[in-house]
Amino acid sequence: MKQVSIFLNPDVAKAYMQATAEDRKKVNAIVNRWLKNIFFRKKTPKEKLFETMDELSIEAKEKGLNPEILEQILQEINDFYH
């Protein structure tokens, strides 16, 4: 892997910097896959987004993510921003 810099919304940057190393690693994997799909697949942006979402869904299920855990994660994110 190669490190690069990107510009983020200040709140997003702060949340990322405050995240655990494990959570940052997960975010990095998601962003890496998303950018790979954008730059290297010859599909519309909408097709790329849905394909990436499908891939992430499969991977999440393989790693044990279920609707209850997802709801808990989303609630924690919501609580953080409100």
Reduced DSSP (H G I as helix, E B as strand, rest coil) percent helix, strand, coil of the chain, to 5: 75, 0, 25
pLDDT, tens digit (0-9, with 9 covering 90-100), for 65-79: 888 888 898 899 888
Domain ranges for the chain = 20-81
Q: Kindly indicate the confidence band of residue 21, based on its pLDDT and cuts at 50, 70 and 90.
A: very high
Reply yes or no on whether the pLDDT at 42 is more than 80: no
pLDDT at position 1: 84
Indicate left, alpha or beta for 64 from its phi (over 0: left) and psi (-120 to 50: alpha).
left
Q: Kindly indicate the confidence band of residue 41, based on its pLDDT and cuts at 50, 70 and 90.
A: confident
Average of per-residue pLDDT across 41-51: 82
Specify the pTM: 0.53
Neighbouring C-beta atoms of residue 13, cutoff 10 Å: 12
